[in-house]
Structure 1
Amino acid sequence: MNKLSLSVPLSLLCLSAFSTEATTYITAKAMLDVNNGKLISTPLIQIDNGVITQVSTGNLPTLQQGDEHIQLPELTIMPGLMDMHVHLTSDPTVPRSERIGQSIPRQAIKAAYFAQKTLNAGFTTVRNVGAQGYSVIAVRDGINAGDIIGPRIWAAGPSLGVTGGHCDNNRLPPEMKYTAEGVADGPWAVRAKVRENIKYGANAIKFCATGGVFSKGTKVGIQQYSLEEMTAIVDEAHMRGLTVAAHAHGTSGITAAIKAGVDSVEHVSFVDDEAIKLAKKHGTWFSMDIYNTEYTLTYGEQNSVAQENLEKERQVSKRQRDSFRRAVDAGVNMVFGTDAAIYPHGDNAKQFSRMVEFGMTPLQAIQSATINSAKLLKVEDQLGQLKVGFAADIIAVKGNPLNDVSLLENVSFVMKAGTVY
């Protein structure tokens, strides 16, 4: 890593700038314009204070004293990638029974480690949709302060959920009287929980609208929060300027979440035509984690995943991929979300090939992780493209990812906000 400098927030959405008087220039073999899918030869990018200040082609920079010229003559540059569904505190190689005993400080250390792995894989922005004890919020703040290395993070606090639902913890006996910290029942209680998350630094909100694969005793497709409760969550979060993600596998939960006004629905396994039409009408984003099935079914028993959870994964996997293809064909807004932590962090880009296999073009898959994700986060004028005025979040691969999207699994150059990692 060269020229690491401290970051300072440009906004409440943790867009960071780096203070330096020197100018950085990047030249490369080609640049991918993710907006129109054009590959541009011999680009020249000028970067000042972590922001792109000039984009041209066929030129060489005129260097002043202290300026830096990064030459990538064999590589294609493109915007840093964005994953809208990660859980940085969780390690899929550690059995869930052991994770219960991990302290919040231990989870925060895990999150810092996995944040750096994620950045090194080319993901310069992530949305962490749920973690205990505001641990990932602390990691995000440490990254912004320059204490540790990692991507830009939009961090939800503890995920909201009903008593005994997917976002509760049902693995402990009743005499322990344990309730997950995100549990809230009823419209005013969920409003209070949103306010609490914001109080402690959340800049995104996530709630569980249905059961889930990896919880105990929940039916994966059954709705949990009522429409009234979901609407209260969304209204409170939107009033404070935060986007809302809804975990929803089942049809009724997906439909209710869209009607409630969520910004994105996660997983979207059992979607029907009505929900697809509603999503298009409301402009709702779908975030569908269609890569991790293979990892779960291959390594689940080895990693002590319970048979109940493996069976639910078998129920979900094919249906979710069919739903993905139908949503793509219908033109639903799609973002890149992988549920990193179900598979090892740093392997996020392996999902691109699955997205192409199940209906997307390589450009659509790349757009889901760049301009689309930036739109979901409402920073499309700052992130997701290589344009003047945008943050200098830049990655590079050898070859043309429009011809072979799996190239994104081997990123050889990563820059975030003008700093090379």
Structure 2
Amino acid sequence: MKNIFLILFFLSLVLTLPAQRTILHAGKVIDGVSKKVMTEKSIIVEGKQITAIENGYTDPDDGDQVIDLKSHTVMPGWIDMHVHIEGETSPDNYLKRFTNNPADIAFNSTNYARETLMAGFTTVRDLGGSGVNIALRNAINYGVVVGPRIFTSGEGLKITGGHGDPTNGYRQDLMGDPGPIEGVVNGVEDARKAVRMRYKNGADVIKISATGGVLSVAKDGKGAHFQEDEIAAIVETAKDLGFHVAAHAHGDEGMRRAVSNGVKTIEHGTYMSDATMDLMIQKNSYLVPTITAGMEVAENAKKPGYYPKVVADKARVIGPKIQGTFSRAYKKGVPIVFGTDAGVFKHGENAREFTYMVEGGMPAMEAIISATSVPAKLLGMGDQIGTLKAGYLADIVAVPGNPLEDIEVMKDVKFVMKEGKVYKN
């Protein structure tokens, strides 16, 4: 009996001790919402959350951990709204479709996830893969794998022969006739079934290929692919199941159909007309520019044999146009949200997009906000991530110097915290 009382006594002492805190002494703070830079702040983290942001450099209590970021700019963890976390560009990528097993894809994806997190991206929206991306998301959530918080579409939706049809480029006896289970949609009933299959498989968002694409082994890079009734059925069914819809689109007609029928984000937007830009403003649809991917494919197309000829021909033409479309859209007032298409270039280089956005005419602060509070709201997490504020999850990154003076420092991430855990310091 005496031992029980002693145990209870010591347990009561432990329970009354103050919880250990992590205190970040931040020289400069960008909170992800305000366009004003704050200076000399202390960000207090307990468990997974920010509990306070205090003026000056708070003195620690016994047991507190202090991290000195006085020479850094501290921001919310960044959010990339367009990645492909399962794979990465290489000259033999098209061969890998026949040599890689799902296990190979899965193991490689864990490296890409880690690289993405270490680059400062604590949340990503994965827009299309084989389905391994759903398992990877779960493994990260369970703490089995280190990586960013993932919202994924699983396999994207496309038409027969369209961008993303898994058997494009195969010899005829291997092509078969993939359908809604594989994400290949022809008609309204297929469209509804394909969305419901994504729901069944555990996806978070629906992605469609509204036009042709660059890297698919098909000659069409910009023609409209879905009929309007198919897009309407996809959006309606997705809404019923709690999804928003993202549309890969290079050609203008495919974009117009997508935006008119309720698609929330347009990915790439290469040949977007002024009329479609006006429609996006009216509908509050967002452009996800992916300028880095455009730059990368244009460069790779110059390398003999890097892409099949049908792909290289498209990449040389479409790639260089994306930054110009972004500039026009930004100046016109189209809503912009940060996204890179990482996987088309090397994972971990996502911050290149900040440089291209600033070069394209967007002020550095707006580019940062487009990668913090803006995507957080689109993902339905605007009250949890994307902002440095008491009560929010402690997703925090820091770079040396001042990105408003030199946007290149965004590529030099020195500190990464996700949900209160330090991954890079």
For the criterion TM > 0.5, the same-fold answer is yes
State the SS of the aligned residue for 1:100.
helix
Which one-letter code corresponds to 2:88 in the other structure? D
User: Which of 295-304 and 198-207 deviates more?
Assistant: 295-304
Q: Equivalent residue for 2:39? A: 41
2:57 and 2:94 map into 1 onto residues whose CA distance is 58
CA deviation map 1:152-204 (0-9, x unaligned): 00011110011111120311111113455111211121111111111111011
CA deviation map 1:9-64 (0-9, x unaligned): xxxxxxxxxxx953222112121133222221111111122111111111414424
Structure-2 change in CA distance of 1:178 and 1:408 (3 Å): farther
Q: Equivalent residue for 1:324? A: 326
Which one-letter code corresponds to 2:47 in the other structure? N
Q: Equivalent residue for 2:104? A: 106
CA contact 2:26–2:43 (8 Å) conserved in 1: no
Q: Equivalent residue for 1:174? A: 172
CA contact 2:398–2:416 (8 Å) conserved in 1: yes
Q: Equivalent residue for 2:3? A: none
State the SS of the aligned residue for 1:111.
helix
Q: Equivalent residue for 1:32? A: 30
Out of 371, 374, 390, the residue aligned to residue 372 of structure 1 is 374
TM-score, scaled to structure 1 = 0.92
CA contact 1:285–1:376 (8 Å) conserved in 2: no
User: Which of 249-258 and 49-58 deviates more?
Assistant: 49-58
User: Which of 174-183 and 83-92 deviates more?
Assistant: 174-183
CA contact 2:383–2:392 (8 Å) conserved in 1: yes
Structure-2 change in CA distance of 1:245 and 1:299 (3 Å): same
Q: Equivalent residue for 1:277? A: 278
State the SS of the aligned residue for 1:291.
helix
Return the offset for 1:309.
Answer: 1.3
1:138 matches 2:138 = no
Return the offset for 1:83.
Answer: 0.6
State the SS of the aligned residue for 1:46.
strand
Q: Equivalent residue for 2:222? A: 221
State the SS of the aligned residue for 2:87.
coil
Q: Equivalent residue for 1:207? A: 208
1:178 and 1:304 map into 2 onto residues whose CA distance is 27
CA contact 1:234–1:262 (8 Å) conserved in 2: yes
1:149 matches 2:162 = no
CA contact 1:120–1:346 (8 Å) conserved in 2: yes
State the SS of the aligned residue for 1:219.
coil
State the SS of the aligned residue for 1:38.
coil
2:369 and 2:185 map into 1 onto residues whose CA distance is 36
CA deviation map 1:123-178 (0-9, x unaligned): 0010000011x201101100000001000000111100111111203111111134
Q: Unmatched 5+ residue regions in structure 1?
A: 1-19
Q: Equivalent residue for 1:342? A: 344
State the SS of the aligned residue for 2:336.
strand
Q: Equivalent residue for 2:49? A: 51
State the SS of the aligned residue for 2:38.
strand
TM-score, scaled to structure 2 = 0.91
State the SS of the aligned residue for 2:298.
helix
Higher Rg of the two aligned structures? 2
CA deviation map 1:62-119 (0-9, x unaligned): 4244x32222222111111111000011121252332212122211112111000000
Q: Equivalent residue for 1:81? A: 78
Q: Unmatched 5+ residue regions in structure 2?
A: 1-17
Q: Equivalent residue for 1:97? A: 94
CA deviation map 1:199-241 (0-9, x unaligned): 1110111011100001122411100011110111111111111
Q: Equivalent residue for 1:68? A: 65
CA contact 2:25–2:43 (8 Å) conserved in 1: yes
1:293 and 1:253 map into 2 onto residues whose CA distance is 19
2:30 and 2:257 map into 1 onto residues whose CA distance is 38
Which one-letter code corresponds to 1:81 in the other structure? W
Which one-letter code corresponds to 2:74 in the other structure? I
Q: Equivalent residue for 1:9? A: none
CA contact 1:168–1:179 (8 Å) conserved in 2: no
Q: Equivalent residue for 2:249? A: 248
Which one-letter code corresponds to 2:354 in the other structure? F
CA contact 2:218–2:311 (8 Å) conserved in 1: no
Which one-letter code corresponds to 1:226 in the other structure? Q
CA contact 2:81–2:288 (8 Å) conserved in 1: yes
CA contact 1:263–1:285 (8 Å) conserved in 2: yes
Structure-2 change in CA distance of 1:179 and 1:135 (3 Å): farther
Structure-2 change in CA distance of 1:179 and 1:42 (3 Å): farther
Which one-letter code corresponds to 1:320 in the other structure? I
1:293 and 1:332 map into 2 onto residues whose CA distance is 19
Q: Equivalent residue for 1:258? A: 259
1:257 and 1:164 map into 2 onto residues whose CA distance is 19
Q: Equivalent residue for 2:15? A: none
CA deviation map 1:302-349 (0-9, x unaligned): 662122212212221343222111110011110111111111010000
2:305 and 2:386 map into 1 onto residues whose CA distance is 35
2:264 and 2:158 map into 1 onto residues whose CA distance is 17
Out of 402, 411, 424, the residue aligned to residue 400 of structure 1 is 402
CA contact 2:298–2:320 (8 Å) conserved in 1: no
1:188 matches 2:186 = no
State the SS of the aligned residue for 2:267.
strand
1:302 and 1:42 map into 2 onto residues whose CA distance is 52
1:213 and 1:148 map into 2 onto residues whose CA distance is 31
State the SS of the aligned residue for 2:139.
helix
Matched residue count: 400
Q: Equivalent residue for 1:309? A: 311
State the SS of the aligned residue for 2:61.
coil
1:322 and 1:203 map into 2 onto residues whose CA distance is 31
Return the offset for 1:361.
Answer: 0.8
Structure-2 change in CA distance of 1:154 and 1:200 (3 Å): same
